[in-house]
Copies of this chain bind each other. A is one copy, B any other.
Amino acid sequence: MQQPIHVEELKSREVFPGHHARFIHGDHMTIAYWRIDKGATVPEHSHPHEQVVNVLSGNYELTVAGKPLSLEAGMVVVVPGGVRHSGRAITDAALLDVFHPVREDYR
């Protein structure tokens, strides 16, 4: 991939309804830039990948292992591999997620 990468030039994918992602894959990590529509939800799920959620803007409710966390810009949550989690956008929101290992399912 040509560097530097311009995130806005990457193709966006609607991975869950109202959850639009642009992905960057390294050798060991995947970066996901999310644009999320107010009210959109992600059903509870888990994956073996460690995930770190960084809130860039908006308000987002992330429920991790059954515990709801109300997030806004400047907040971060570490979701260990295998832990169930779900999400809901309280407002339009922008998140930056990082995963290890690479999300082969998102290539």
Binding site for B on A (CB under 8 A): 1, 3-8, 24, 26-29, 31, 50, 52, 54, 56, 62, 64, 69, 71, 74-78, 80-81, 96, 98, 100
Q: Are A7 and B80 also in contact (CB < 8 A) when A29-B98, A29-B100, A50-B29 are?
A: no
Nearest B residue (CB) for A53: B4
Among A27, A62, A64, A98, max chain B CB count under 10 A is at A98
Chief secondary structure at chain A's binding surface: strand
Contact, CB under 8 Å: B28 / A100: yes
Q: Are A6 and B81 also in contact (CB < 8 A) when A28-B50, A29-B50, A96-B96 are?
A: no
Query: How far, in Å, is A106 (CB) from chain B's closest CB?
Result: 15
